[in-house]
Amino acid sequence: MEERLKPMDAEQLRESAHRMVDFIADYYKSIESFPVLSQVEPGYLRKLLPDSAPDHPESLQQVLEDVQAKILPGVTHWQSPNYFAYYPSNSSIAGFMGEMLSAGLNIVGFSWITSPAATELEIIVLDWLAKLLNLPDDFLSTGPGGGVIQGTASEAVLVVLLAARDKFLSRIGKSSLNKLVVYSSDQTHSALQKACQIGGIYPENCRVLKTDASTNYALSPDLLNEVISQDISTGLVPFLLCATVGTTSSTAVDPLPALATIAKRNGMWFHIDAAYAGSACICPEYRPYIDGVEEADSFNMNAHKWFLTNFDCSALWIKDRKALIQALSTNPEFLKNKASQANMVVDYRDWQIPLGRRFRSLKLWMVLRLYGVQNLQQYIRNHIELARQFEDLVSQDPKFEVVTPRIFSLVCFRLLSPDNDGDKGNKLNRDLLDTVNSTGKIFISHTVLSGTYILRFAIGAPLTEERHVNEAWKVLQDEASKLLATIQNN
């Protein structure tokens, strides 16, 4: 007779988990040996794995060997010091400790009662972070507002949009959904468009206002005013303005104070997406970039991007938590309990899309405690300094140009086309991106601004040091020279 499975034996857990720790630590020791961007072909893994689950157990050794041989080649190494694509997604020892503990306890914190510590630590830690960012007191849990950890900025902007939508519809009637208008710039993250789709906002009522180099790709208050006036004159109802501090393409910063005034005058919900750049605002010298947040209805930053907190951890603060709860609460019998019914507690399930939720505050708490504020500030400053150095390197090479002024730790640049032809220049930079990423030495990504294809070099991986930036620049120069030589030979 086979012995009964012991899926949670403490000593077996200890033994297996120690092995996994060594596996992961060894991974970090060797992380620079992998191609940063995975070089596999679509469908590679299907050829390496069986068609169905095994009937009988396999050993941890077998599984770890498969991770090494079959999974890791298909991994794009976001934690590599040579990762400069998109925006960073920080892992840290503290964040990893928090993930381990959260997975170890494996609670489901939908209501306060299902683990009071999960709810209360989240409240406390988001108050800590709000104070670090010098957010207005209205965002603290002690008033009618408060903070909550969402999975991602997409979910943050979605719940905000739903709260704003339902607040307006409760006033003008749900049949007026077709009148609600959302405002943002063409640099706003696509998550807003997705939130509009989900919330049923009419596509023709999503105002995506054009930006250009004259405002460094920030939203123009004049244009916004103009469009809002037009909309009001045709009977539409402006209800949500989404501003960004640190856009995904180029870290543009929308002019919050001017936008806040417009939002207020028109009675709109004003949301600020600082998913990437919010982290920098714990440094006093970068805090002015969110001046105007005092007038916002909601504010979001991703601790999982550039704040050493493992994915996922997106911090959202809101001034009127009732609006959120109004839009997202249900109250089924099977979840009723004394503490909730007596309104003595926060039940975060009513602040988010899903019912279930992980104990995510642990990792943010550990990051703040194990590193401390001064180290975190230094961490941010170091990346920004490295980006400044990279910007200098690019500026000094006449073959390249820096396209938008660097603000935080992203440099937008391009290789100049020898014949000054826009289309050829775009192709040249697309080719440079492909060849550089194909080397496996570094991974960068791109964007398009005013029709021009641009390379993005985003510094922010926890292991990145000056030497990695310098070597990356050498890879870019080398591949650029090769490309230019090919062109000149044709």
Least CB distance to a copy of itself at residue 480 (A): 20
Which residue's CB is nearer to a copy of itself, number 235 or number 332?
332
Q: Is 139 in the site for a copy of itself (CB under 8 A)?
A: no
Answer for the pair 239, 180: CB distance below 8 angstroms, yes or no. Answer: yes
- Phi, psi of 301, rounded to the nearest 5 degrees: -140, 145
Answer for the pair 324, 351: CB distance below 8 angstroms, yes or no. Answer: yes
Q: Is 80 in the site for a copy of itself (CB under 8 A)?
A: no
Least CB distance to a copy of itself at residue 322 (A): 15
Answer for the pair 166, 323: CB distance below 8 angstroms, yes or no. Answer: yes
Q: What residues numbered 365-404 form the site for a copy of itself, per CB under 8 A?
A: 366, 368-375, 378-379, 382
Q: Is 124 in the site for a copy of itself (CB under 8 A)?
A: yes
Which residue's CB is nearer to a copy of itself, number 7 or number 398?
7
Q: Is 69 in the site for a copy of itself (CB under 8 A)?
A: no
Q: Is 78 in the site for a copy of itself (CB under 8 A)?
A: yes
Taking CB under 8 A as the criterion, the residue among 53, 233, 235, 398 binding a copy of itself is 53
Q: Which stretch binds a copy of itself (CB under 8 A): 127-135, 255-263, 265-273, 473-481?
A: 127-135
Least CB distance to a copy of itself at residue 4 (A): 7
Which residue's CB is nearer to a copy of itself, number 165 or number 319?
165
Q: Distance between CA atoms of 436 and 413, rounded to whole angstroms?
A: 14
Taking CB under 8 A as the criterion, the residue among 179, 271, 319, 358 binding a copy of itself is 358
Q: Which stretch binds a copy of itself (CB under 8 A): 184-192, 206-214, 288-296, 477-485?
A: 184-192
Output the CA torsion 386→388→389→393 (10° steps): 140
HEC string for 278-330: HHHHHCCCCHHHHCCHHHCCEEEEEHHHHCCCCCCCEEEEECCHHHHHHHHCC
Q: Is 325 in the site for a copy of itself (CB under 8 A)?
A: no
Task: For residue 374, give Cα distances in angstroms to 133, 225, 238, 314.
Answer: 13, 41, 42, 21
Which residue's CB is nearer to a copy of itself, number 163 or number 290?
163
- Phi, psi of 150, rounded to the nearest 5 degrees: -95, 165
Q: Is 131 in the site for a copy of itself (CB under 8 A)?
A: yes
Nearest residue to 75 (alpha-carbon basis) of 136, 115, 28: 28
Q: Distance between CA atoms of 331 and 335, rounded to whole angstroms?
A: 7
Q: Is 209 in the site for a copy of itself (CB under 8 A)?
A: no
Buried b (16+ CB within 10 A) or exposed e, 407-443: bbbbbbbbbbbeeeeeeebbebbebbbebbbeebbbb
Q: Which stretch binds a copy of itself (CB under 8 A): 125-133, 256-264, 383-391, 396-404?
A: 125-133
Q: Is 129 in the site for a copy of itself (CB under 8 A)?
A: yes
Q: Is 213 in the site for a copy of itself (CB under 8 A)?
A: no
Taking CB under 8 A as the criterion, the residue among 211, 248, 279, 404 binding a copy of itself is 248
Buried b (16+ CB within 10 A) or exposed e, 228-263: beebeeeebbbbbbbbbbbbbbbbbbbbbebbbbbb
Q: Is 172 in the site for a copy of itself (CB under 8 A)?
A: no
Least CB distance to a copy of itself at residue 106 (A): 4
Taking CB under 8 A as the criterion, the residue among 1, 33, 54, 419 binding a copy of itself is 54
Q: Which stretch binds a copy of itself (CB under 8 A): 191-199, 393-401, 412-420, 475-483?
A: 191-199
Least CB distance to a copy of itself at residue 257 (A): 27
Answer for the pair 364, 313: CB distance below 8 angstroms, yes or no. Answer: yes
Beta partners for 161? none
Applying CB under 8 A, what is the total number of residues that bind a copy of itself? Answer: 159
Taking CB under 8 A as the criterion, the residue among 35, 145, 146, 199 binding a copy of itself is 199
Q: Is 422 in the site for a copy of itself (CB under 8 A)?
A: no
Q: Is 4 in the site for a copy of itself (CB under 8 A)?
A: yes
Which residue's CB is nearer to a copy of itself, number 165 or number 271?
165
DSSP H or E segment with residue 181:
strand 180-185
State whether residue 234 is helix, strand or coil. coil
Taking CB under 8 A as the criterion, the residue among 7, 235, 284, 398 binding a copy of itself is 7
| One-letter identity of residue 387 | A
Taking CB under 8 A as the criterion, the residue among 65, 68, 69, 103 binding a copy of itself is 103
Pairing type for strands 180-185 and 206-209 reads: parallel
Task: For residue 389, give Cα distances in angstroms to 61, 409, 466.
Answer: 44, 10, 9
Q: Distance between CA atoms of 336 and 58, rounded to whole angstroms?
A: 42
Answer for the pair 282, 376: CB distance below 8 angstroms, yes or no. Answer: yes
Least CB distance to a copy of itself at residue 241 (A): 19
